[in-house]
Structures are given as C-alpha cells and as structure tokens.
Amino acid sequence: MPEIQYYNFYHVKTFLSKAVKDDRARTFFNFPQFFTKNTKAKFFLGIDGEGVKCLLLSEDSVKAIRAELEDLTSSRISSMPSSNVSYENLEAIYIDSYKAYKDIDKRMKSFNKTAKEKTKLRKMIHKSENAQKMYQAKKYFFVAIDIESYEKDHSCILEVGWSMYNSKTDLYMDRHFCVNENKHLRNGQYVPDMKNRFNFGKTIWEDQKTIAEEFVKDLTGDDVKGYVVIVGHGVNMDINYLETMGVKINDLIEDDYQFDTAEMNAARMGKPNERISLGRLLDILDIENYSLHNAGNDAHYSLLLFFELCKLPIMPPESEEPEQISDSD
C-alpha cells in the first residue's frame, strides 16, 4: 500500500489560490468561512524534518478541496505537486470554527518558537565545541577584529583594530588604525571617545584603503594561510563593516572559522537569544580591561574573552521537549 502523503495547509492554500485566476478561488480560503462551511478537509498536525510543527492536510483532503474549487469556479485545476516532506508524530485534529483554528495556531507558534530556540542552541553549542577544539590544537592563527564607527553616522568608520595570536609560536601582536578620511569626526556624546587610548602599541593614522590592505596582508601570509580563525564580539557587524572597506571576509575565511564571543557565551549559558555587552561580560568573567571603545583595545579583550570561553564548560541544551499539541487539551 502506497504511503499516505501529507501537505502543509498553507502551501496548499497558496498553490490552489494561484492556480485559478478567479476571485472566488482566493476568497474560498478566507477566515473564518473556510473552517465553518461544510468542507471535506480533514486536518492533522505533524513535525517536519526541521522539528517544526505544521498544520497538514491528507492527500485525499487536498483532492476534495481541489474538486470543491473546480465546482465553484467551473474550471480545471492542475493537481498539487507531490510532497517530498516526511512528517512525524502525526495526529488528527478537528477544526470546526475560526476560534478552534486560532487556538491551534497559537499553540503551534508556541511549540515552534521553543523548537526553533532548541535547534539554534544546539548549533551554537556545536560551534563553541569546534572553537574549543581549535584553541586546544595549538596550530591556528587567531585574529580578533573590532571597528568603531561615528556615533551620528554609523557608515563612517573611525577606527579599526585587530589582535592576533599565533598558537604555534605563542606570539601576540596588536594593531590599531584611525581613518584619515574621518579625522574630523569624534565620538563623545553617545559613545566614549577613546581613539587616543590604545593600550597595546602605537596608533597609526592611515587612509581606509591602506588599512584594509594591511588587514588582508596579516590574514593571508604564507605562514598562516589556511589556519586563520576570525573572532569578534558581535562579529557579523564588524564583518559587514569590513565589506564596506572592500574586505570580503567570507571569501577569505569560511564560516566554520568565524566565531562570535557573544554567541559563545549565550551557548554556555543555554540562552540562545541572550547577548551581553563586551564590557559587562569581561567584568563577569574577571578579565581585567581598560579603555573600551578603542577598536584596538576591544579587539585585544575580545581575543582574551574568546580564549577564556574556550576554557569554560559549555552547558548542554535543555532536555525537555516542546509542549505537545492535541485536540483533547
């Protein structure tokens, strides 16, 4: 006996509404009429391969709805393409009113929000575990990046800093650049102005193009090529800034070699959506720090934070499953 196919209700609604160029086809699915009229649709709940709870229709129900639409519009509608999605934990449900639908929809969204967070947390934990393995391997070249922009126009880059650690040679090096083109712009009203407070070397004033070239040069040397790991606190924002400078990090360093210390800490705490500022997290973990909001300093402390997080245990995701949904609740 062939396996029964199930279709996501919203996919069916979209396909059949577009299949007939007739306003009656679109209004056929309007709420609450669709759930209160004498339709032959039988609904189910099921979980797809991504762990998402879906409102489903059986293949027979889809055919029945298509036949109703054909009678309504006096037109021929093509068959729904075969579903290539398998669903688990199938259960029949009864929807006889718009309220019943809204109750199911509300509880589905609650289930899926929890499931999505658990999936997100598992991925974050897996990435943090990879970071720890790289830290322990003693063969990678770690580079933490930070960029400071103008508080009144974030498209204007004021400072670029990066901190490097060669785990094979156990050597650190820090670099801090200020952008010549925006020399006339200073923070201080909303963000502290710390561009003259670099703690780990000499600040260099250069044009933005040269700064970008220096950064790429440090990442692509023959002695580090293939072993560069990018680190940052909210690193995607810094990567976006680098893009505007002409540095395509994703072309140089693959995603598996990019780590966000804010996300690593969220994984450690088992709270995938929690983000703690760099300064506060440094204080929480007792990492001594001075003159934050200087790009060079922030890069240096982000690197130290990364190493500290690599030493700390990672909390496993919660074991509880999301709330089950049934029509008997």
Mean pLDDT of successive 10-residue stretches along the chain, which has 329 residues: 81 87 78 69 89 92 89 87 89 86 91 92 95 96 98 97 97 97 96 96 98 96 91 97 96 95 96 96 97 98 98 70 42
User: pLDDT tens, 21-76?
Assistant: 777 777 888 776 777 775 667 899 999 988 899 999 999 999 988 998 888 888 88
What pLDDT shows up at residue 316? 60
What pLDDT shows up at residue 318? 54
* 3-class SS string, the chain: CCCCCEEEHHHHHHHHHHHCCCHHHHHCCCCCHHHHCCCCCCEEEEECCCCCEEEEEEHHHHHHHHHHHHHHHCCCCCCCCCCCCCCEEEEEECCCCHHHHHHHHHHHHHHHHHHHHHHHHHHHHHHHHHHHHHHHHCCCEEEEEEEEEECCEEEEEEEEEEEEEECCCCEEEEEEEEEHHHCCCCCCCCCCCCCCCCCCCCEEEECHHHHHHHHHHHHCCCCCCCCEEEEECCHHHHHHHHHHCCCCHHHHCCHHHEEEHHHHHHHHHCCCCCCCCHHHHHHHCCCCCCCCCCHHHHHHHHHHHHHHHHHCCCCCCCCCCCCCCCCCC
What pLDDT shows up at residue 218? 95
Cα-Cα-Cα-Cα dihedral sign, residues 160, 157, 249, 306: positive
Domains of the chain: 6-96 (no CATH), 119-311 (3.30.420.10)
User: pLDDT tens, 151-162?
Assistant: 999 999 999 999
What pLDDT shows up at residue 325? 43
